[in-house]
Amino acid sequence: MANVKGNIRSFIVETFVLSDDTVLLDDDSFLEQGVIDSTGVLELVDWLEENFHIKVEDEEIVPENLDSVNNLSSFISKKIN
């Protein structure tokens, strides 16, 4: 799971180019931190589907699944299993 979190973090940092002084904890909300915008969420969904070979249903596009490193990690784990 640590590896999944690492992957998520790399994707977020690389895709949304966080500044050097941005501290993003595993529980930090992407929304509250201003990390991504609405089209960013779609990029995130595309990345999840492509990298983890999962299908993200429309009703699954909610903060509880996608809005932090921890939420994403749990969601991926649930989908894969």
Partner 1 sequence: MLQCVFDYLIQSSQRFPGQPAIIHEGKTMSYQDVYNSSLALAGWLHSLNLESGFRCALLTDDPFEYVISYFATLMAGGIVVGLNTQTTGKSLYYVLQDCAVSVLFVQRKFHRDVNEINPAIPCVKYLVSESEWRARVDIQTAPVWVDIGRILDSLNAKSSPKLPTVTSGDIAQIIYTSGSTGKPKGVMLSHKNLIANTTSIVEYLALSEKDRVMVVLPFFYSYGNSVLLTHISVGATLVINQNFLYPNVILDQMVQYEITGFPGVPSIFALLLHRSSIYNYSFPCLRYLTLAGAPMSSKLGKRLLEAFPGVNIFVMYGQTEASARLSYLEPVDFDRKMGSIGKSIPGVTLKLVNKQGRQVGCEEIGEIVAYGDNVMVGYWKDVEETKKVLQDNGLRTGDLAKMDEEGYIYIVSRKNDMIKSGSHRIAPKEIEEILCEHEAVHESAVLGVEDDILGETIKACIVLKKDRNCTDKEIIRHCRINLPAFKVPRQVVFLDELPKTASGKIIKSELTGYWQ
Nearest-10 crossing angle of helices 69-80, 2-16: 120
Query: Judged by CB under 8 A, which of 8, 36, 69, 76 binds partner 1?
Result: 36
Q: Taking CB under 8 A as the rule, does residue 62 contact partner 1?
A: yes
Q: Taking CB under 8 A as the rule, does residue 50 contact partner 1?
A: no
Q: Taking CB under 8 A as the rule, does residue 37 contact partner 1?
A: yes
Whether the Cβ atoms of residue 54 and residue 34 lie closer than 8 Å to each other: no
Give 37's contacts (C-beta < 8 A, 6+ positions apart). none
Residues of this chain that interact with partner 1 (CB under 8 A) are 14, 16-17, 19, 21, 30-31, 34, 36-42, 45, 58-59, 61-63, 66-67
